[in-house]
Structure 1
Amino acid sequence: MKARNKLTLIIMFISGSLVAQRPPAISSPNINPDKSITFKYYSKNAKRVSLSGEFLKSPISMKSDTSGIWSVTVPPMTPDIYPYSFYVDSVQIADPNNSYIFANERFKRSIVDIPNDKPLIHSLQNVPHGKVTYQYYNSKSLNITRQLLVYTPPNFDASGKTKYPVLYLIHGGSDTEETWTKVGHANFIADNLIGQGKAKPMIIVMPYGNVRPAPMLDFTKDIVNDIIPFIESNYPILNDSKNRAVAGFSVGGGQTLNIGFTNTDKFGYICSYAPFTATEEFKKNFDNWNPNADLINKQVKLFTISVGTDDFLYESVKKNIAMFEEKKIKIKPLIVSGGHTWMNCKIFLTNSLQEIFK
């Protein structure tokens, strides 16, 4: 009996210790009725915790209560999708209480989605929905099997008679093939615009654009020689240039320019979002460039470059726009407010989907 009582005491002690070590259940982020947001983080040992987000000009300090819960409430914000993170004693971490994570290979960030009273264009709405499929293909150009995402529109029938135009949509430099859906909500934007009759039903291919340590120009080969043939062999595709578009953000925007303007016979639509062009490939393709402007303007039905006025690339993008205009290439710039953000990406994509394949 004594042994049993002793064992019971040991079990109770261990259980009590585990409960004492378990962090309290907290909810973060909490969107308040006035659209202000309360962020929380638990740590008994941290000396300083701050909140950083693309809705803030600079990080703000969080305050801790006696239980070790750090918190801060930010003022009401415009409904949108915003990345944010915590800095715990100067170390960046994603919010451990939020499962909505920013798809990125370098930044450790979470996402807060502030809904609007009227659904936004990137919101899940009551319209027919397409499907996002994860696919693997063999890249002979890169000598590796790679993954890409394919959005197929509502009522898509792989064995049906309908054939579709294709948009090849490229992410930013440290993003992944998932960023356009998980952060940019490209599939919901397409669903909503197609449902409203503002965009043509299309297939959207979202490849993985990072090819490190291979030269970036190898991604152009991957798109043209591997990805396009894979898609056109496995999906009902309209496979001429007037039914093929390429678009991308940041590094992907620079890749878009490289891919599009070295293959104007293959892409009738080139849409570049805040392009980063300080690359060897861009220099190779566009330094001392003497294009046949008349031919390109006949081949390319729409060429756009979009950027925000607060984007750190704004001045370089303006120079790129001026360069294309000097070469007599027809270009349709889109200048909006805001910075180098995925909030602006959604605006750029929304604009493009309504203009391509028309």
Structure 2
Amino acid sequence: MNKILIIVFFLSAQLVYAQENLNFGRQKEIISPQTNTDGTFTFRLKAPNAKKVEIQGDFLIAKGTGPAVEQMKLGADSIWAFTSQVLPSELYSYSFIVDGLKIRDPNNVYLIRDVSSVVNVFLAGAGKADLYMVNDVPHGTVAKRWYESAGLKVNRRLTVYTPPGYESSKANYPVLYLLHGVGGDEEAWMQLGRASQILDNLIASGKAKPMIVVMTNGHTSNTAAPGESSKGLYKPIMMTPDVFNGDMETYFKEIIAFTEKNYRVGRNKADRAIAGLSMGGFHSLWISANYPNTFGYVGLFSPAVLPPSNAASPIYKDLDLKLEAQKKNGFKLYWIAIGKTDFLYKNVSDYRKKLDAMNFKYEYRESEGGHTWSNWRDYLSAFAPMLFK
């Protein structure tokens, strides 16, 4: 074979190889989840050796006491698929279960951690979830800041949102201190709660006043979110030893002092709001009660209300007297919200009876559903526009 034939053969082989690779790449492309024109979503997973593939998601209807699960169907090219019902606008999460093993969707790079679980997420728009999207509006700045806690004798981390225009302005801004639940940390409201997107979109539409939002870490035994501190890479747990020990409430004024030293903020009660979900609602209740002339606005989202009977901290004593002082000092808004099927519903009902007996004024919102981020995002979306009017 002469040199010319060898070169032609070599080039032909390379062309065939490249074409095969190109075709192979196209065949491997899988869209999951796929947004369909009728409002449904299709999920796909290539699993050639699987005997059974299921999908578990918060958009499915549970058929028992366990998580909602549906079977996926095997189609061509070893691709398993499932198409949902028409889904209302929301942020949803899901996982696949392959022969009993829960896995992430390899074709969806969007993931959120909740405590020690990681799930895929997707957005169904054309409704309330439009607030959760990054839209073409002016954006605020999100910073991770460390502050020194003299009381706890450590440096701790905060997440701070400053609204669009803060850096170029000389104005003072009001502050919302936004607290997470027992499974969260200073990243929870940003990741699971979509707080920056909600605030950007509400401010851009004129529905909320520009405000600074300070998101704390309510677990005082941790200095920062998992993997973000000198504690190293450990498996997160929900019930840390600091829950109900009173440290978060006792040293909260350090966070206010740091904020007012480092940011241009109003320093009057009317310029401060505090709100939180579940454990954060518990913290918001007790912080505002123990410092009864500090916050003009208080939001309790699905709050855990009362501490356990063995809670020793003086922070949790004499609630009635503290509420009377808070009422006497005055406030602009005391807002409570909870879902009808929330496991804390009765506790909140009992707390409302206490407030009613004291003639303690509050606003109340009751929604469908339970102890979920779907409700807490709704509550933030409703609460923020009521602030600093």
Q: Gapped runs of 5+ residues in structure 2? A: 1-23, 63-68, 221-239
The residue number in structure 2 matching 1:243 is: 271
Tell me the secondary structure at the aligned position of residue 330 of structure 1.
coil
The residue number in structure 2 matching 1:232 is: 260
Which of 172, 177, 182 aligns to 2:191? It is: 182
Whole-angstrom CA distance in 1 between matches of 2:350 and 2:34: 42
Whole-angstrom CA distance in 1 between matches of 2:150 and 2:344: 33
The residue number in structure 1 matching 2:36 is: 32
Alpha-carbon shift at residue 104 of structure 1 (Å): 1.7
Amino acid at match of 1:338: G
The residue number in structure 1 matching 2:146 is: 136
Write the deviation string for residues 180-237 of structure 1: whole angstroms up to 9, x where unpaired.
2223222222222222222221100112223333344212234322x22221111111
Structure 1 window deviating more from structure 2 (241-250 vs 33-42): it is 33-42
Residues 305, 118 of structure 1: CA spacing in aligned structure 2 closer, same or farther, 3 A cutoff?
closer
Question: In the alignment, is the contact (CA less than 8 A) between 1:151 and 1:205 conserved in 2?
Answer: yes
Residues 132, 247 of structure 1: CA spacing in aligned structure 2 closer, same or farther, 3 A cutoff?
same
Alpha-carbon shift at residue 51 of structure 1 (Å): 1.8
Amino acid at match of 2:366: I
Say if 2:350 is the partner of 1:356.
Answer: no
Tell me the secondary structure at the aligned position of residue 144 of structure 2.
strand
**Which has the larger Rg?**
2
CA-based RMSD of the aligned residues comes to 2.8
Tell me the secondary structure at the aligned position of residue 117 of structure 2.
coil
Write the deviation string for residues 266-315 of structure 1: whole angstroms up to 9, x where unpaired.
12211010112464499665676322655422332211111122323223
Question: In the alignment, is the contact (CA less than 8 A) between 1:150 and 1:203 conserved in 2?
Answer: yes
The residue number in structure 2 matching 1:192 is: 201
Whole-angstrom CA distance in 1 between matches of 2:186 and 2:343: 23
Which of 152, 155, 161 aligns to 1:151? It is: 161
The residue number in structure 2 matching 1:291 is: 321
Percent identity for Structure 1 against Structure 2: 35
Alpha-carbon shift at residue 68 of structure 1 (Å): 4.1
The residue number in structure 1 matching 2:111 is: 101
Structure 1 window deviating more from structure 2 (75-84 vs 177-186): it is 177-186
Structure 1 window deviating more from structure 2 (75-84 vs 285-294): it is 285-294
Residues 292, 133 of structure 1: CA spacing in aligned structure 2 closer, same or farther, 3 A cutoff?
closer
Whole-angstrom CA distance in 2 between matches of 1:280 and 1:272: 18
Residues 287, 54 of structure 1: CA spacing in aligned structure 2 closer, same or farther, 3 A cutoff?
farther
Whole-angstrom CA distance in 2 between matches of 1:282 and 1:272: 23
Tell me the secondary structure at the aligned position of residue 353 of structure 1.
helix
Say if 2:133 is the partner of 1:123.
Answer: yes
Alignment of 1:329-344 (within 5 A): 329-344=360-375
TM-score, structure 1 normalization: 0.84
Residues 329, 96 of structure 1: CA spacing in aligned structure 2 closer, same or farther, 3 A cutoff?
farther
Residues 242, 29 of structure 1: CA spacing in aligned structure 2 closer, same or farther, 3 A cutoff?
same
Whole-angstrom CA distance in 1 between matches of 2:357 and 2:171: 41
Say if 2:291 is the partner of 1:263.
Answer: yes
Question: In the alignment, is the contact (CA less than 8 A) between 1:103 and 1:178 conserved in 2?
Answer: no
Whole-angstrom CA distance in 2 between matches of 1:249 and 1:342: 9
Amino acid at match of 2:358: K
